[in-house]
Structure 1
């Protein structure tokens, strides 16, 4: 059903089971909304995910206690509390909904693009698939988003080591949690990999649920990576060293005929 111009409507994506919002160009007779100072201030702040509330509260309490003994320690605590709130930020993202596109599941730097065997617990066989990894440092937004839409057919958690998440062997040896998604273009897996500092992987979805592309599915504390395993016919659209934005950056494409783009680093 067509949405009227000048309105924001919501339409259900077939098979996704989630609502996505579509923006429309304002009609000529639409009256502009006046922005006041409160709106301006609110728009300047990024929402914080509820997973971060206990940590931010703990940092704040410790800061107040430190302030009883030392002004310098108090201000150090204020800085650390601000960093904690920044770490758990959960900004709104504008996600492409074209089924041909694979979207980055994490904020960070692309650390790996190439063939790799997926973790055995995912049940995807022993043949190499195309793997794209995004590494998150302690300053990255750590809310993870689905790279494609489809049905979650499997979720597998495996305990493991806490090696540097930038190392290639971290995909097989570190603590991890994997989602297998039956997408319109085949099976896609997104694996949350714990890192050197990370000690907690959070996943909010369950097997059997439908998930929309760009939908939040989990979070990792504090510093880690997410691996995306794709069928061989997917063409990567990013290069190692490129910065990716969760829910927005196109990292691969199905049905694309052009080769993986060349890049220049200045």
Structure 2
């Protein structure tokens, strides 16, 4: 397991805060209450480990397939429905949404191999990620891939806690399925807008793994 580069600064800040809190607790609390001092240490150490784990990159064998769409993130499938797109596409698409809790791995990956046609950041609100309007009202970054004559839009959506979306792609890039496309910090959601004839291979409330679980095919 590795630590993602997007976590270096956050982990450093967390370590400094951890060290300051425990130094103060040692000098001002532990001297008259060792138990309270240990409780503070254990609580802050647990939080520090949680922040480190949030930026983890587990070792995995990623799926590869020309006609398959793999999950761009870890999480739970929460939406599968036909929608009228709010950007790029003019015709109806099949929306598949994945909710990412703070406990999930938060690296985002390319669901397909192909060419990037569109990459656009949108400022917005910070509604909870499962809110129906989070797809259109929240801070988000949208990317459109073209592969084998098909086009797929992937939307990274910020949640109530996630206030920093990172995306590495730009129009014209040639990308590989399963490679990193970005990162969202501290819980959020990813939407995919797929062609209506896509054969879906997952169900609502199913747990999925980024770069591994096949969401569908054509």
TM-score of the pair, normalised by structure 2: 0.91
Number of residue equivalences: 206
User: 1:60-99 counterparts in 2 under 5 A?
Assistant: 60-70=15-25, 71=37, 72-99=39-66
Distance 1:93 1:214 in 2: 10
Gaps of 5+ in 1: 1-45, 255-266
Gaps of 5+ in 2: 26-36
Distance 1:233 1:240 in 2: 18
How far does residue 143 in structure 1 lie from its aligned partner after superposition?
0.3
Distance 2:153 2:77 in 1: 17
1:220-241 superposed Cα distances (whole Å, 9 cap, x missing partner)? 0111010011111111111110
Matched with 2:10 is 55
Say if 1:57 and 1:95 are closer, same or farther in 2 by CA, change over 3 A.
same
Distance 1:199 1:93 in 2: 27
How far does residue 128 in structure 1 lie from its aligned partner after superposition?
1.6
Matched with 1:247 is 211
Distance 2:193 2:8 in 1: 32
How far does residue 185 in structure 1 lie from its aligned partner after superposition?
4.4
Matched with 1:176 is 140
How far does residue 50 in structure 1 lie from its aligned partner after superposition?
1.1
Distance 1:110 1:168 in 2: 14
TM-score of the pair, normalised by structure 1: 0.75
Q: Is the 8 A contact 1:160 1:175 kept in 2?
A: yes
Say if 1:101 and 1:185 are closer, same or farther in 2 by CA, change over 3 A.
farther
Which portions of structure 1, spanning 4 or more consecutive aligned residues, are displaced by more than 6 angstroms?
Answer: none
Matched with 1:164 is 128
